[in-house]
Structure 1
Amino acid sequence: MQPIAASEQASALRRVHGNEAEVLVGTKIRQCEASGETDKAESWKMIQQVLRQRSGASES
């Protein structure tokens, strides 16, 4: 997944799920890893990183 796509996905998830977006992404990461879908898990990790960066920025 390209960084711009991860950013767009993170924005959409935050709009729809609010603060629960990061929990949802964590669940998706675990599901993908458990089923051996490492590429998908890496994509979800990129989205998670964007969400975390944005939450840290808003807390300052």
Structure 2
Amino acid sequence: MQPINASQQASALYRAHGPAAEAKVAEKIRACEASGETDQARDWKLIRHALRELKH
């Protein structure tokens, strides 16, 4: 996933879920890691990072 795409995804998630967006992303990361989907987990981690950047 490209950094700009992660930023766009983070913005969309925040608009849709507000402060709960980070918890939803954390759930996605855990689910991907549990099922061995390492590439997807990496993408969700990029989104989490972009989401945290939005807050600052």
Instruction: Report the TM-score range of the alignment, normalised by the length of the smaller protein.
Output: over 0.9
Task: Give the gaps of 5 or more residues in structure 2.
Answer: none
Q: Secondary structure at the match of 2:36?
A: coil
Q: Which residue of 1 aligns with 2:54?
A: 54
Runs of 4+ in 1 over 4 A off after TM superposition: none
Matches within 5 A, 1:9-48: 9-48=9-48
Number of residue pairs the alignment of both structures matches: 56
Deviation string for 1:15-50 (max 9, x for gaps)? 000000000000000000000000000000000001
TM-score, normalising length: structure 1: 0.90
What value does the CA root-mean-square deviation take over the aligned residues?
0.5
Q: TM-score, normalised by structure 2?
A: 0.97
CA distance in structure 2 between the aligned counterparts of 1:40 and 1:27, rounded to whole angstroms: 12
What is the CA distance between 1:53 and its match in structure 2? 1.5
- Give the structure with higher Rg (CA): 1
Deviation, structure 1 residue 54:
1.6
